[in-house]
Amino acid sequence: MNCKEAFMSDAPFYTIDEMDLAFDRLKSITHKTPYPTAEERQQCLTDLQISLLNYELPLLKALQKDFGCRAHEESRLIELVPLIGEIKHAKRHLSKWMRPSRRSVHISSFPAAAKVVYQPKGVVGVISPWNYPVLLCLGPLVGAIAAGNRVMLKVSEFCPETNKVLRDILHESLGEDWVELVEGEVDIADKFSQIAFDHLLFTGSTSVGRIVMRNAAKNLTPVTLELGGKSPLLVASSADLNDTAKKLIFGKVLNAGQTCVAPDYVLCHQDQKQALIDKMKHELAVYYPDGILSPDYTSLANNRQMSRLKAYLEEATAANIEIENLMADRAVEQEGKLAFHILHQPGDKLAVMQDEIFGPLLPILTYSDIEEAFDYIQQRPRPLAMYLFTQKKEDQKRCEENIASGSLVINQTLIQVAQPNLPFGGVGASGMGSYHAEEGFRTFSHGKSVLRQRGFNIVGLLRPPYKRGIHQLIEKYWPFF
């Protein structure tokens, strides 16, 4: 069978038995062809790239249907542009990534040669979320295919129209020899994470990530977890507030804030706060002149997300927290959209300061000395991203060396995700492991050490009895070997 064969099942939702059969089929193919050639992998990546471009318009229309309102330009920018960039980068560097890594050999093993060979792990499972249903589904697929694996994809049931197009894309480009796309609800997702994959990557909430890791542990399946968390944006007193406001609004309101690396809260100097808010309000009016009715302002994915975000506002209101709608028309909610609100100094015990917000709400906290801000961030769970706006190198150095985060972005927001040559991943509560770039290839590969002995070897002299001269020599000089 070649990589253009049709999928086993056209049914949009899988049963547990069908999912097990799909895994067994991919496992069998892996046993027969455990090490696909560089040419085969390159061809699959090329076919995927061509199919994505061929299906661009259907994909953009499907995303619009699933979200209710999401501009084609925004979907292209945040889903397709970084994805195509990642495919091109993998194709360009694949031969180098696959090349065995030569290693030195200890003197006691002479003469011998050593290397590390990067072997496909086998069948990889990927669980993708609803907020970026194309990028966060196919992005891990790129790294897994580049590493020579077969892949099962569990996509979100909240994006049915997008899933239909993804199925067509994968059918056309890869087929059943390489990938299986699985749809289903909570029971299927739970069972999926219990399959004995050779590696499992999950993108989603920290609470569900714990369940996935527990399920994977039953089979000792290695996991990569991309979990998000509360990514801070720190505005130093030296920051350019005009520039900060533009980039803050772009990073927070893109996809209606439904982005795992969106700024989750702001820390700014108490003397900057009002000026920053005024500039944010100006930028919102420029970006979205008709407020939430602007066609470029994205809807929330579903009613469940709307209810969750409104509950944050209701709790904050009950706690007498000042809340301010910064949108031009002042409408709060309409057509599945929620206005961008800031929350002034919400207490740490509020849900909006405990949970990842994942929407157009932005708490703003103030400090009198930047050391307070650094301490505040360091005392909290490690975030997926840290954003710093400053003109001082000492602030940058402090963040680089002392703030643990999945990534650090200085004087910009979000763009780290679209860099095909940078790894992407969290640390601590925001995840473990990484993918993208060469690190993604390594994540989905097993670095197998290979040692080849040649001819007579010193080890032969080291056998018992130990009273021979060679051991007396080692006893005297071993620290220098």
Closest CA to 52 of 142, 150, 149, 177: 142
Closest CA to 23 of 181, 166, 129, 252: 181
Choose, from 3, 260, 268, 399, the residue flagged as catalytic: 260
Q: Could you confirm whether 322 is annotated as catalytic?
A: no
Choose, from 86, 183, 226, 438, the residue flagged as catalytic: 226
Q: Could you confirm whether 69 is annotated as catalytic?
A: no
First to last CA, the chain: 53
Catalytic machinery residues: 226, 260
